[in-house]
Structure 1
Amino acid sequence: MDIIWIVYFAVMGMVFGSFYNVVGLRVPKHESIAFPGSHCPKCGHPLKWYENIPVFSYLALRGRCKSCKSPISAIYPVFETLTGLLFAYSFSRFGWSMELLLACLFISLLVIITVSDLVYMLIPDIVLLPFAAAIAIIRFLSPAAPWWSAWLGAVLGFCLLYLIALVTKGAMGGGDIKLYFVIGLVLGVEKIFLSFFLACLFGALFGIGLMAAGRFKKRKPIPFGPFIAAGSLIAYFFGNDLIAFYLRMYGLS
């Protein structure tokens, strides 16, 4: 029976992932997420239902608009697939629990802000605030252990990024700072620092990769949101194991 629910969550994740692409692409431009319906951004061709099936339509159309043959951004199938996989893994990990709801909300937030930050270098408050409220309610109804860890993690996450922004004179955007408050609510004290370490590590590796490929531009900013999302998800799902491994490696446990 569990496999049926895992498949269900994978499919629902892809459907929601398709919607999150729309939110991430339209909200920063102050556009409606409902009207107009899904369409080709190049020629305006309205998508029929069979052109709008997550992942499968992209593959069937070979990544091109049926009308004008313009390339369709890979953002759509990539984040639809990722959301589906993460939703399915969350159910397999947490089952029917309050933590499953928290995981799905957390994944949803990170997918939306990643799309938005990749395209516009922006993490909109109008996206952050509803998720912050929902996650805070869940943390109130289903506290972390110990109960204060989530709230202290939120404060530390906010203060850490705010301090870095002050020291670096704006290297961290306001969206990143507020995002880490929400991430702290989810991760708690111990894993908030792991999340930031991983985000910086991934960002550094990406920068090194760009330099090796000769594509690094000194004055061109790189969105940090995707690295925050990757580091935070790894810390959320595997943080306890990573911390335990680190402590064992140095004989601290």
Structure 2
Amino acid sequence: MEIVRLLFFSLSGFIFGSFFVVVGLRLPKQQPFTTERSCCPNCCIRLSWFELIPVLSYAFLKRSCRHCKNKISSIYPIIEILTAAMFTISYSIIGWNPELVVALLVSSLLIICLVSDIFYMVIPNQLLLFFLPVFMLLRVLEPLDPWWDTFQGGLVGLLIPLLVVIVSHGGMGMGDVKLFGLLGIVLGTTNLVLSFVLASIIGSIIGLVLLAYNQISLGKPTPFAPYIVIGTWIAYFYGDAMIHWYMTRFFTLH
């Protein structure tokens, strides 16, 4: 039975991941993503069902549109695999628990933001406003300890990156600021701070590597969402354990 459940969340992740790519690509351009069928972004021909099978269609079609032969972006299978992994890991760690709904929705939000930020350097307000009441309701039903940490986490999530924006004169986008504010509602204060620190450290390290290999230019804006995804993912699942280890390792009185 456990294998069946893991397969269920894995397959669900592949399917939803394919949908999240469409949302991330269309929402910033104000294009409908629920009423119009998927089409090739180059020739605009609507795709058949066998061209929309997650990962498999990308492989069988040899990474090209069968109509115009234009190359299909690798972002599709990458996001589908990533979403499947996040859904499966969420269930593996949390199990059948109301918090699993929170984990799946956080994963969904992060994936859509990742796609949107990579392609357009934008995190759509509509997306954040959609998830705001959802997360607030979920934190009423499945509260943090203490319960008011939801509101404090949201406030801190706005203030810390906003301070970075002010001090750095635009070193971080306002979309990132609002995203951290929303994530603070889910994570609470301590884990929100941890996610911000992790995202900043990981982003700095990867940025220096890319700069060294001339993959990015100094002073040119780059997407920060990939690092927010990593930092939030680590803080959400392992934040309490990491903070407990840190406090007992460095602040325990002997």
When the two structures are superposed, what TM-score results if normalisation uses the length of structure 2? 0.95
Report the alpha carbon displacement of residue 35 of structure 1 after superposing the two structures with TM.
4.5
Question: Hey, which bits of structure 1, 4+ residues long, moved more than 3 A?
Answer: none
For 1:171 and 1:38, locate their aligned partners in 2 and report how far apart those are by CA, in whole Å: 35
Give distance in 1, aligned partners of 2:64 and 2:244: 46
Going from structure 1 to structure 2, the CA distance change for 1:63 and 1:248 (only over 3 Å counts) comes to farther
Shift of 1:156: 0.6
Partner residue, 1:128 = 128
Distance 1:37 1:204 in 2: 39
Give the residue type in structure 2 aligned to 1:100: L
Whole-angstrom CA distance in 1 between matches of 2:47 and 2:204: 39
> Which residue in the other structure is 2:193 paired with?
193
Partner residue in 1 for 2:4? 4
**Aligned equivalents of 1:50, 1:241: Cα separation in 2:** 44
Superposition pairs for residues 159-198 of structure 1, below 5 Å? 159-198=159-198
SS in 2 for 1:69: coil
Shift of the 79–252 alpha-carbon distance from structure 1 to 2, 3 Å rule, reads: farther
Q: CA offset at residue 252 of structure 1?
A: 3.0
Question: CA deviation digits over 1:73-93, x for unaligned, max 9?
Answer: 111111111111111111122
CA-atom RMSD in angstroms: 1.4
Match status 1:65 vs 2:65? yes
| In 2, Cα distance between equivalents of 1:148 and 1:53 | 43
Deviation (angstroms), 1:109: 0.4
Partner of 1:43: 43
How far apart, in 1, do the equivalents of 2:193 and 2:215 lie? Answer: 30
Give the letter for the 2:66 counterpart.
K
Residues 106-145 of structure 1 aligned to structure 2 (within 5 Å) = 106-145=106-145
Separation in 1, partners of 2:73, 2:14: 16
In the superposition, the TM-score normalised over structure 1's length comes to: 0.95
CA distance in 1, matches of 2:34, 2:150: 34
| Alignment coverage as a number of residue pairs | 253
**Comparing 131-140 and 38-47, the one that deviates more:** 38-47
Offset of residue 247 of structure 1: 2.8
Rounded to whole Å, the distance in 1 between the matches of 2:246 and 2:70 is 48
CA-CA distance at 1:251 after TM superposition = 5.1
